[in-house]
Amino acid sequence: MRAIKLFLLLLIFVGFSYNPAVAGDISIDKENGIYHIVLKGEKIKKKIKFVASEDLITNREAHQKANAVLTVNAGYFDPKNGKTISYVVTDRITSADPMFNHALLANPFFRKNMNKILDRSEFRIMHCDRNKYEYAIVGHKSEVPFGCALLTSAQGGPLILPELRLEEEGFIVKNAQGEVVRESASVLHKTARTIIGLKGTDECHILIITDENPMDMYEVKKLCIDLKLDRAMAFDGGSSTSMNYKKKLEVVSKDDGTGRMLKSFMLVYD
């Protein structure tokens, strides 16, 4: 009983926050139900890879199969047919292409808004002149800069910073009176989120916003501003929000403890 009281007092003194993991170029903090992961420096850029699974698997399965240090969920997909709604590039090759998702093409709304959907924001890692690796958050149709090659990327959306692009990326639709008549990915409602952002040229920030502190996209934007991020975008969220770090930490957003079956992942290797 005395040990339990001491533990509770410790929690009070540290303000219910802790630093569960610091390993080399990766740091992870948790506060108020939000994991804040920072990937620092030049070296770690070449250790990041986005992948798409042929069949839907959990984040835990992807983590174990890849023997990764860190694994988080990435792009959007159709849970009914297991096909992607987001582009993914792995080792310079497109490994997931929404144009092969026939259900997407058959949907009247998606067909009408296909340009917006296909140009949603994506996170890129590029290999550029002088053997440098560069991050970018841009629309999918954005050109790769001269002297650079796209190594790996995953599309998600919407863009959060420098501006929130809900309507421009087809996540909300408004009628002539300016009223929202359609919403995707629960962007206007509080839910768990997976967010990726950039600060400067060498810091990649990942926010795993858990069910303990769900947020809508306007709240996410404020959080990203408070963290002084320069650019930020969303990956899939809600029940897809997942994270595994080594064998130490796991976040799932389903009560069964195993997590949702997913399509694409961000892997960080040792």
- Which H, E and C letters describe 191-213, residue by residue? ECEEEEEEECCCEEEEEEECCCC
pLDDT in tens, 7-46: 333 333 333 344 555 556 999 999 999 999 999 999 999 9
Alpha helices in 2-101 (DSSP H): 2-13, 59-66
Give CA angle at 104 (100, 106), nearest 5°. 105
Give 225-240 as a DSSP string.
Answer: HHTT-SEEEE-S-GGG
Q: What is the pLDDT of residue 22?
A: 56
Task: For residue 168, give Cα distances in angstroms to 62, 107, 193, 220.
Answer: 32, 19, 20, 18
pLDDT at 1 over 50: no
Q: Which two tokens stand for residue 81?
A: 């047919």
Residue 243 has phi, psi (to 5 degrees) of -155, 135
CA 115/CA 130 separation, integer angstroms: 35
Task: For residue 191, give Cα distances in angstroms to 47, 139, 180.
Answer: 30, 24, 18
Give CA angle at 136 (202, 27), nearest 5°. 40
Q: What is the pLDDT of residue 21?
A: 58
pLDDT at 56 over 60: yes
Peptide bond into 20 cis (omega under 30): no
CA 253/CA 239 separation, integer angstroms: 5
CA 168/CA 153 separation, integer angstroms: 21
pLDDT in tens, 127-175: 998 889 999 999 999 999 999 999 999 999 999 999 999 999 999 999 9
Q: How many helices (H) and strands (E) does the chain have?
A: 6, 21
Query: Which has more confidence, 11 or 87?
Result: 87
Average pLDDT of the segment spanning 168-192? 96
CA 56/CA 256 separation, integer angstroms: 17
Query: Which has more confidence, 10 or 185?
Result: 185
User: What percent of the chain has pLDDT above 90?
Assistant: 84
Q: What is the pLDDT of residue 258?
A: 79
Q: Are 128 and 134 in contact (CB under 8 A)?
A: yes
Q: Which two tokens stand for residue 75?
A: 């792009």
Peptide bond into 98 cis (omega under 30): no
Query: Which has more confidence, 10 or 215?
Result: 215
Q: Are 236 and 242 in contact (CB under 8 A)?
A: no
Task: For residue 197, give Cα distances in angstroms to 184, 194, 208, 263.
Answer: 21, 10, 12, 21
